[in-house]
Amino acid sequence: MTTKEELIEKLLLLEEKFENDEEVKSLIEKLENRFNTLQDEVFTAEDYKSDEYSDMCEGYYLELRENDPDQTSIFQVLWFE
């Protein structure tokens, strides 16, 4: 039977492999680029500079902090990156 400590070591190994995997890095980069493209299609340069945009981001952050972490979406991870 595998001990909890051994399982933790396996989890850390998986995390390291994931973080250093070239295919994963490529896919994340593609996803980030696509997210940025879509974001720039929706928000203007003027939006980004406004106080209202900052307030909206802060409000969205505070709202999500109250949610169950298991409900976090990839969109939300990219938004706050």
pTM for the model = 0.82
Q: 10 burial class (0-12, 13-18, 19+ CB within 10 angstroms)?
A: exposed
Find out whether 31 and 74 touch, Cβ atoms under 8 Å: yes
52 inside domain: yes
Confidence of residue 81 (pLDDT cuts 50, 70, 90): confident
Backbone φ, ψ for residue 2 (5° rounding): -80, 135
35 inside domain: no
**Structural domain harbouring 80:** 43-81
Q: Please write the tens of the pLDDT for every residue from 28-66.
A: 999 999 999 999 999 999 999 999 999 999 999 999 999
Confidence of residue 12 (pLDDT cuts 50, 70, 90): very high
12 inside domain: no
The number of folded domains in the chain is 1
Which token pair is 25?
A: 């890095």
37 inside domain: no
